[in-house]
Amino acid sequence: MDGGLLLFRVSGVPVLLAPSWWIGSLVVTVLYAPLVGRFLPGATDLHSWVLAATFAVLLGLSVLAHELGHCVVALRLGLPVRRLRLFLLGGISEIARTPKRPGHEGMVAAAGPAVSALLAAFGGALLLLVPLHGAFWLLVLEFTVANAAVTVFNMLPGLPLDGGRLLRAGVWALTGTRSKGTRTAVVGGGAVAVLLLVWALWGLAAGSPDRWLRLGVCVLTAWFVVMGASGELASEQRREVPAGLRIRDLVRPVLQLPAESPVADALSASAGRGVVLVRADGVAAGLLDQVAAERLASVSPLAPAEQAAEEIRPETVLLDSESGEDVMERVRETAAWQFLVVDDEGRPAGVLRRDDLGSAARHGFE
């Protein structure tokens, strides 16, 4: 749990509170406390600090509800979620697999703002029922403002915000190409960052009462947007298949050998091919690990090749009918250096090595 403090789990997904969340909450508290007196003229310094800290907590809970919306919808669509993290002035649901359809991308993106909008509407309705002024009224107002702010901000049309993901889904649906949607939304992210900084500077020039709060939040948020948009673009380039690159051209021929074969013989027989080691009962023992096999052969050339086998796991098996982008993504997300490629009937069709794919991809982008 290197992402922070584990709070709880949702359908097995860990919800973490990153250390930077405390820093962001402290900043919000310090900048917001002087503004409490405008709403409650009779409030003491202690009350102002308590209400400001409460606002920071309510903002965190609003972000948590927002991210849970993303998480639940992603899980319903069959998209695994690694974890949900709350950090400095924000949160993220780390979805482990890229949506295959623009509609799924849009549904996951819209879920968070929808939750925040419902909470803001609930708070607004509650404001009509509670007496004006007083600490409870201010808390309800803070809750409403927090969720309204989360909704509006996340609908801005730029990555990594939800509005940017919706923009990407729209362009993807219109053009049929996800990468075009990503590039469009990255440009939108840059525009959002510029507008945030302009709004903060305008507040300073106009002497707005909340100018320091606005400046702090806008600078941090603009930085978050720029870094997030850059990360999205880099991720898209990693999963994109260069023009003319065909995965089938990178697959090495496969050779099946008995698992008990001497490791030295297995190495000499491989001759640059991928080797599937099969036990006597017909079950695959694994793929021959070239480096481990060479190390074992140097000290014990007659040792069974199975001792230098890399386990074949479900995530290391690729279908030869998978698209190039799907293969790129699977390889990038899986901790393995070689993958068994099978046909639609499950028969070995070849072996794809990470280095071969990476070298071809780098050459294609140069």
CATH of the domain at 340: 3.10.580.10
Is residue 226 within 8 Å of 158, Cβ to Cβ?
A: no
Segment 243-263 mean pLDDT: 81
Q: Both 199 and 254 in a single domain?
A: no
pLDDT in tens, 24-46: 888 888 877 887 777 777 778 88
| Percent above pLDDT 90 for the chain | 38
Q: Which residue bears the tokens 């584990």?
A: 6
Say yes or no to pLDDT of 307 above 50.
Answer: yes
- The Cα–Cα gap between 266 and 253 comes to 15
The larger pLDDT score, comparing residue 322 to residue 303, is at 303
The larger pLDDT score, comparing residue 133 to residue 254, is at 254
Q: Both 176 and 273 in a single domain?
A: no
Q: Which of 56, 27, 346, 21 lies closest to 218, judged by CA? A: 27
Q: How many domains does the chain have?
A: 2
Q: Both 197 and 302 in a single domain?
A: no
Most confident of 2-6, 87-91, 124-128, 233-237: 124-128
Q: Where are the beta strands (DSSP E) in the chain?
A: 5-10, 13-17, 81-87, 90-95, 254-258, 274-278, 284-288, 309-310, 317-319, 338-342, 348-353
Q: Which of 239, 261, 281 is the last residue of a domain?
A: 239
Q: Both 338 and 253 in a single domain?
A: yes
Say yes or no to pLDDT of 363 above 60.
Answer: no
Predicted confidence at residue 343, as pLDDT, reads 83
Predicted confidence at residue 168, as pLDDT, reads 95
Strands 309-310 and 284-288: antiparallel
Q: Both 228 and 264 in a single domain?
A: no
The whole-chain average pLDDT of the chain stands at 86
Q: Both 172 and 287 in a single domain?
A: no
Q: Both 101 and 215 in a single domain?
A: yes
Q: Both 9 and 143 in a single domain?
A: yes
Predicted confidence at residue 69, as pLDDT, reads 96
Q: Name the pLDDT band for 265 (thresholds 50, 70, 90).
A: very high
Q: Both 198 and 87 in a single domain?
A: yes
Q: Name the pLDDT band for 366 (thresholds 50, 70, 90).
A: very low
Say yes or no to pLDDT of 141 above 80.
Answer: yes
- The Cα–Cα gap between 336 and 134 comes to 60
Q: Which of 158, 357, 86 lies closest to 248, judged by CA? A: 357
Distance of CA 324 to the CA centre of its chain: 21
CA dihedral 12, 82, 316, 338 (to 10 degrees): -150
What token pair was written down for 308? 């230098």
CA dihedral for 296, 298, 304, 310, sign (positive or negative) = positive
Q: Both 234 and 253 in a single domain?
A: no
Say yes or no to pLDDT of 88 above 80.
Answer: no
Q: Both 181 and 261 in a single domain?
A: no
What token pair was written down for 21? 């969340």
Strands 348-353 and 338-342: antiparallel
Domain range holding 183?
A: 5-239
Is the backbone of residue 323 left (phi > 0), alpha (psi -120 to 50) or beta?
Answer: beta
Predicted confidence at residue 244, as pLDDT, reads 56
- The Cα–Cα gap between 273 and 257 comes to 12
What token pair was written down for 273? 């091919």
Q: List beta partners, residue 17.
A: 5, 86
Q: Which of 189, 205, 239 is the last residue of a domain?
A: 239
Q: Both 258 and 167 in a single domain?
A: no
| Percent above pLDDT 70 for the chain | 94
Q: Which of 188, 223, 239 is the last residue of a domain?
A: 239
